[in-house]
Structure 1
Amino acid sequence: MPMNPLEHDRRYGELDQVLRAYAGQPADDGEGRPSAALTAYLRHTWHTRPWALAAAEQQLREYSRHPPGRLRLRLGEYYPIPDVGLPEHEIQDWLRILADHIKHSIEAGEVPAPSVPLTHWEWHARFPETGQFLGGWFSQDMPDEFADHDAAVTHYIAETDPQLTARLAGEVHELLALNLDESAYALAVAELGMEVDPPAPYAPSGWLARVAAQLDGGGFRADYGESPDER
């Protein structure tokens, strides 16, 4: 029978995070050169969950040394390596190379510098609530569900927990702080799930700034008590 979630995460949880970073990316890691996918994983994890790197190194190395045998394959009690474009006989060596790169990064303190996300995985890892917002409210079905873009934003604010709305506001401001050109912002919102164009006359960055203002306008307002003039 398949593993329960707790056992899966103990054995393979961080290994799974590493391999998810390879979605749509080549597994072209060399002995002295990590791939773009692994660099994206290292950059994001160093800056958000540095303690997870040791678990990733251990789980990758353990899987490379002890791939599932016939019994575990038959019972389904193992982690199925996704198709990364490598022949099956090369997978174990590739996993070892990944573990070696992560170990070197930890021991040498080599941290990829902050950067604009470079892979689909990294966009969603860095801007998770933005991905939920754009993919859920601005799919190709948006024109059939809402009168316009403003109506979709208003619906999101009304139906979403205020803590998540605040998180989205912070992510949108961070996205704007990347100071990209308009073609890069168009790519960014597409990577994050937006399937419709921004409303006229807005370019992608202008529309994101409008969304940020709408989110900020519906946010928390501090109560400072009575002013001296009101007493």
Structure 2
Amino acid sequence: MPMKPLEHDHRYGELDQVIRAYLGQRADDVDDKPSAALLSYLRHTWHTRPTALAVAEQQLREYARNPPGRLRLRLGEFYPIPDVGLAESEIQAWLLLLADHIKHSVEAGEVPPPGTPATHWEWHARFPELAQLLGGWFSQDMPEEFSDHDAALRDYAETTEPQLTSRLVGELHELLALDLDETDYVLAVAELGMEVDPPEPYSASGWLALAADRLGGFPTGHGPSGSAESGGAPA
């Protein structure tokens, strides 16, 4: 029978985070150089959840040493490694190499310095609430659902827990503090799910600054009964 969520996370939760970091990236790790995907995982995890690195190293080794058979995969009893562009015969050695890189990073204290996210996974891991806003309220359907960008922002503020709105404002300021080139801000909001252009006459960074200001001033997260409502993308 398929694993229950708690069992899955206990056995494979952090391994799953490592593998997700390879979404859209090459698994081109070598003995003396981790891939861009693994560097992104290391950078974000070192600065947010450093104790998870030991868990990742352990889960990678355990999975590599005890690979599942086809039957147990089909029954959902094991975590299925997604396609990372490697032959099946190469997966075991690759997982052990990832574990070695993580172990070396921890034991040598080699902490990637803070920087701009380099992969899709890292953008979403670092700015989760901003990804929720841009992917949920500013998808290509936004013009059909809202009269303008301000109306979408107001809907987010009115239907989302105030604590999450405050977290979002912090993420907006953090993104602006990266001081990227304007073309990089365009790429950043696209990575985070925005599928419509900023309103005229704003650039991407200008609109992000405006959104932070607007969300700091809108009434937030209280329905007619006065109780806070949970966040979520509009239907």
The TM-score range, normalised by the shorter chain, is over 0.9
User: Could you tell me which residue of structure 2 aligns to residue 56 of structure 1?
Assistant: 56
Q: Does 1:166 align with 2:197?
A: no
User: Could you tell me which residue of structure 1 aligns to residue 22 of structure 2?
Assistant: 22
Question: 1:33-112 residue pairs with structure 2 within 5 A?
Answer: 33-112=33-112
State the distance in 1 between where 2:76 and 2:175 align: 41
1:70 shift after superposition:
4.9
> Which residue identity is paired with 1:119?
T
Unaligned runs of 5+ in 1: 221-231
> Which residue identity is paired with 2:4?
N
User: Could you tell me which residue of structure 2 aligns to residue 144 of structure 1?
Assistant: 144
What does the per-residue CA deviation read over 1:165-206, in whole Å, with 9 as the maximum and x for residues that have no partner?
Answer: 000000000011011111000000000000000000000011
State the distance in 1 between where 2:29 and 2:157 align: 42
Unaligned runs of 5+ in 2: 221-235
State the distance in 1 between where 2:73 and 2:148 align: 50
User: Could you tell me which residue of structure 1 aligns to residue 215 of structure 2?
Assistant: 215
3-state secondary structure, aligned to 2:45: helix
State the distance in 2 between where 1:73 and 1:138 align: 37
1:138 shift after superposition:
0.2
What does the per-residue CA deviation read over 1:37-89, in whole Å, with 9 as the maximum and x for residues that have no partner?
Answer: 00000000000000000000000011111101355235321000000000000
User: Could you tell me which residue of structure 2 aligns to residue 184 of structure 1?
Assistant: 184
TM-score, normalised to structure 2, is 0.91
> Which residue identity is paired with 2:13?
G
Structural RMSD (CA)? 1.1
State the distance in 2 between where 1:191 and 1:50 align: 25
State the distance in 1 between where 2:73 and 2:43 align: 33
State the distance in 1 between where 2:25 and 2:182 align: 24
The question of whether the paired residues in 1 share the 8 Å contact of 2:157 and 2:219 is answered with: no
The question of whether the paired residues in 2 share the 8 Å contact of 1:166 and 1:219 is answered with: no
State the distance in 2 between where 1:127 and 1:76 align: 31
The question of whether the paired residues in 1 share the 8 Å contact of 2:44 and 2:122 is answered with: yes
State the distance in 2 between where 1:38 and 1:11 align: 20
User: Could you tell me which residue of structure 2 aligns to residue 227 of structure 1?
Assistant: none
State the distance in 2 between where 1:154 and 1:142 align: 13
1:217 shift after superposition:
1.6
**Following TM superposition, where does structure 1 have runs of at least 4 consecutive aligned residues deviating by more than 6 angstroms?**
none
Deviates more, 1:201-210 or 1:63-72: 63-72
The question of whether the paired residues in 2 share the 8 Å contact of 1:140 and 1:196 is answered with: yes
Deviates more, 1:211-220 or 1:192-201: 211-220
1:136 shift after superposition:
0.3
State the distance in 2 between where 1:73 and 1:140 align: 37
Question: Once the two structures are aligned, what percentage of the paired residues are identical?
Answer: 75
Aligned residues: 220
TM-score, normalised to structure 1, is 0.93
State the distance in 1 between where 2:73 and 2:214 align: 51
What does the per-residue CA deviation read over 1:109-132, in whole Å, with 9 as the maximum and x for residues that have no partner?
Answer: 000010100000000000000000
3-state secondary structure, aligned to 1:217: coil
User: Could you tell me which residue of structure 2 aligns to residue 206 of structure 1?
Assistant: 206
